[in-house]
Amino acid sequence: MSEALIRSDPKIMMGKPTVAGTRITVELILEKLAAGETVDQILSEHPRLTPEGIRAAITFAAEALRADVVYPVEKVAG
């Protein structure tokens, strides 16, 4: 499903993965969810976005993180 709904085109949003037919990046969707926005809130702010597009963005991100790459995480003092 995510293969059809997530596209990367160098002419759109500098090639960042976006939901097909929109300029809404996977990154933006993840940032909004991480900030506590609900799927309904995101959908109301972006009428061209669908629940399937949000699920595809999450799936895409999960698949990207499955790669054999280690991402160091720094602890933040606080």
Question: Total domain count for the chain?
Answer: 1
Give ∠ CA 70-73-75 in degrees, rounded to 5: 160
> Whole-model pTM above 0.85?
no
Q: What is the pLDDT of residues 23-69, one digit of tens each?
A: 999 999 999 999 999 999 999 999 999 999 999 999 999 998 887 67
Residue 75 in any domain: the answer is: no
Residue 77 in any domain: the answer is: no
Residue 26 in any domain: the answer is: yes
Residue 74 in any domain: the answer is: no
Residue 11 sits in a domain whose CATH number is 1.10.10.10
Identify the CA nearest to 30 among candidates 59, 10, 3, 8. Answer: 59
Boundaries of domain holding 37 = 2-65
Torsion of CA 35, 8, 22, 58, to 10 degrees: -40
Residue 76 in any domain: the answer is: no
